[in-house]
Structure 1
Amino acid sequence: MKTSALAVLAILLHLAPVALAQQAADPSGVWLRDDGNARVEIAPCGDNICATNLWIGDTSKGEAAGDRLVMSLEAKSADTLSGTAYDEKRDRTYSITVKVANDALVTRGCILGGVLCRDVHWKPAR
């Protein structure tokens, strides 16, 4: 009994800083892309975080409502998460950084080992 209690405590102490940092940098919510062309919901999905298109204005680039990115993110600081994003529709994985503020979100997606990157700015939907 003593060993399992210590094991549980060790696990909790190991996970606590990550959980606290992730809590401080929580991108959950509904966000509007800065160009006004997308409304996206970011929410937990299993062990990951998913960004799901709720609305797309211009579908000419192949984006549609219901498209989803599955993100595997780790806290890098109190306001920044970093990891990968899997685009289910295109079967592609990108590296991604998500910077969270109270009134803004900035996502930076990269391909080709970080050679080609794009920042997208978001504001909360109200």
Structure 2
Amino acid sequence: MVRMTTCGNAVCGTIIRTFDETGEYQSENIGRQIVIDMVPQGDGRYEGSVYRPSNDRIYIGRMEVDGDRLSLRGCVAGGLLCARQNWVRLQ
């Protein structure tokens, strides 16, 4: 679970809870910022950086927000190769 907040003129996201196939667990990544300085580009699009805990690397990040849905991409090679995750806002 990631809490999205403003950070200056950008948006950032910090891990606040972690889960695996057995349920919730206390990961060493709790408190780690994984959505980094996503600056608004207009039309619900953002650009910044994304941290990937599984390999401890930071990637070029792109994010699109549409209502309660968020699409997050982490890219290498100038944005040619990307992995995507789709998130939903919890109420």
Instruction: Give the TM-score taking structure 1 as reference length.
Output: 0.54
The separation in 2 between residues aligned to 1:63 and 1:115, in whole angstroms, is 31
When residues 95 and 51 of structure 1 are mapped into structure 2, their CA distance, relative to the original with a 3 A threshold, is: same
The separation in 1 between residues aligned to 2:42 and 2:73, in whole angstroms, is 16
Runs of 4+ residues over 6 Å off in structure 1: none
Alignment match, 1:54 = 16
The separation in 2 between residues aligned to 1:110 and 1:88, in whole angstroms, is 11
The separation in 2 between residues aligned to 1:70 and 1:46, in whole angstroms, is 14
**Aligned alpha-carbon RMSD (Å):** 2.7
The answer as to whether partners of 1:70 and 1:88 remain within 8 angstroms in 2 is no
* 1:42 equivalenced with 2:4 (yes/no): yes
> 1 or 2, which has the higher strand percentage?
2
Secondary structure at 2:17's aligned position in 1? strand
How many residues in Structure 1 have an aligned counterpart in Structure 2? 84
Q: Where do 5+ consecutive residues of structure 2 fail to align? A: none
Larger Rg: 1
- Identical amino acids, percent of aligned pairs: 27
Shift of 1:117: 1.0
Q: Where do 5+ consecutive residues of structure 1 fail to align? A: 1-38
Larger RCO (CA under 8 A, 6+ residues apart)? 1
The separation in 2 between residues aligned to 1:79 and 1:46, in whole angstroms, is 17
Alignment match, 1:73 = 38
Q: 2:64 aligns with which of 86, 99, 112?
A: 99
Q: 2:73 aligns with which of 108, 114, 123?
A: 108
The answer as to whether partners of 1:48 and 1:70 remain within 8 angstroms in 2 is no
The answer as to whether partners of 2:48 and 2:60 remain within 8 angstroms in 1 is yes
The separation in 2 between residues aligned to 1:43 and 1:53, in whole angstroms, is 11
Q: Which amino acid aligns with 1:79?
A: G
